[in-house]
Amino acid sequence: MIEIQLAALTFAPGAQVGGRYTVEGDTARAEVSLIWHTEGKGTEHRVVVVLLEHGDADFGPSGARRSGTFSMTLPAAPTSYSGTLLQIRWLVRVRTWGADERSEVADAALTVGGVSPAQAWKVA
């Protein structure tokens, strides 16, 4: 099991996204990714903006629970958006591998910028 704790849930473009993750069990390595993706009508996109690799030496002491920290810089764009036909979403993803090479993944959603959701047009 992976737990991700972000320093905040909403960030300005260009800000630092920082946090910590905790892993149950024996973890040999981990990747922490900052990702934005689109949902909705048309072609969906997924972009990995930052990818950090953590090896065994980057974790706390070996044992039942191990933890790591991360800090990544957001780009200026795109910002989060929640429209009727298209949504732009951001997340931090942590993927871990144990000594047996089995992997586990967890995501934590975040908001970039302060764009309000789209409003339906009212026709008189």
- Structure confidence by residue, pLDDT tens digits, 60-94: 666 667 888 999 999 999 999 988 899 999 999 99
DSSP character at residue 85: S
* Distance of alpha carbon 97 from alpha carbon 104, whole angstroms: 7
- What span, in angstroms and rounded, lies between the C-alpha atoms of 47 and 29? 22
Domain 2-112 is found in CATH 2.160.10.10: no
Supply 62's token pair: 């070996």
pLDDT of residue 62: 65
Domains of the chain, residue spans: 2-112
Burial of residue 18 (CB within 10 Å: 0-12, 13-18, 19+) is: middle
Kindly tell me if the per-residue pLDDT of 55 is higher than 90: no
pTM metric for this prediction: 0.85
Residue type, 87: Q
